Structure 1
Amino acid sequence: MCYRTKLNSRLAAIERSFEARFVEPELFSPMDEINAFTFMKTPVITDENHGEIQMFNWGLIPFWAKDDKIKKMTLNAKIETVSEKPAYRNSVKNRCLIIADGYYEWQWLDSKGKEKQKYLLTPKDQEIFAFAGIYSTWKNPENDELVNSYSIVTTEANELMSEIHNNKKRMPVVLKSADHQSWLTGNEVSNFAFPYDVELEAKPV
């Protein structure tokens, strides 16, 4: 799974990396650690606006939801079932790039996870990268506010992540830079399931 990410790069460096511009640059603040359970806004690029970087909330709220409580359970979407699960199936064609420059995972050092080692994961060949994501637009029935939100797509862990995320053995889908457009333009989701992966480096922190 993936519940802690990092995006501490400068705004200009992000724009150069993705050849896109922030729509609301004043909303972006570099952060060493982003906690999914704060449901905060982070930078994304959607399939509808490849040249724009927008700020969407982490935690997908499907359009049919009566309230936003579901976001606690939609931070990640399993690639194997994303086309079937009610929370995601209407959004599986709504593709986005979720921008990051690292993510964190904890290795269990005992069978119950009482002792853990935290790791920072980064791709070897990308300083700033993108997770595969899906998104939704939800209208809050209380105030008619439109909320754009996303979920990070996850897959089976590769060899490195099986050792680190040794209790769940899952990992987020980190896209190869050459595949950004393929993801955004609706390439079949199964093409991005493991063994599709990017070579990662793990640093204990």
Structure 2
Amino acid sequence: MVRKIYLSLSFLVLFLTTSFALAEEISAKQVVESFQGQLIEVMKAGKELGFQGRYDKLDQAVKNSHDLPKIARIVVGKQWETLTAEQQAKLETVFTQLSVSAYAHNFKDFSGESFTFVSEEETGRGGVVIHTNLNIPGEKAIKFDYMMKKKDDSWQIINIIADGVSDLALKRSDYTSVLNRDGFDALITKINEKIESYAKQ
């Protein structure tokens, strides 16, 4: 009898724990909408914050919503395996700085913009694409499609396609050619120069 009660209680605890975890899980759509909300908030205070202020506000938001280490690996492709552990860590660091800098530069002021959810689409490999629009008063909306993958227990962005143009494809084309032609140090220099240009504009 005691054993039956113990097993019943154990099952109940497991059921409640699992149910709670499922209830708390943040969906891919919620990850995107939360990040877009943070972008809009930074845009509203963009001029007052300046580049560094926007960077500081967006730093953790980008890291939380994007799988930046995975993106860095995809960008350099097969060359990733030829890099030392130190070089891999360095590339992840500067690539993260580049990603945050790009957002701080591109979303720097506010003129009534808003994001709207359009649809959600499952991919063949367990991923999800969140289709959204960036609405700009007086202009045509820009389509932002977020390619999402599950990492551990959370969804993260691995690529963004703006009006049909893949950010990941552009970076891969640009940076792999530098790495293959001029080497690792030249790639790091190029990325740092891009970061500096974002900060000055």
Sort the TM-score into its range (normalised by shorter chain): under 0.3
Normalized per residue, the structure richer in strand is 1
- Name the larger-Rg structure: 2
Q: When the two structures are superposed, what TM-score results if normalisation uses the length of structure 2?
A: 0.25
Q: When the two structures are superposed, what TM-score results if normalisation uses the length of structure 1?
A: 0.24
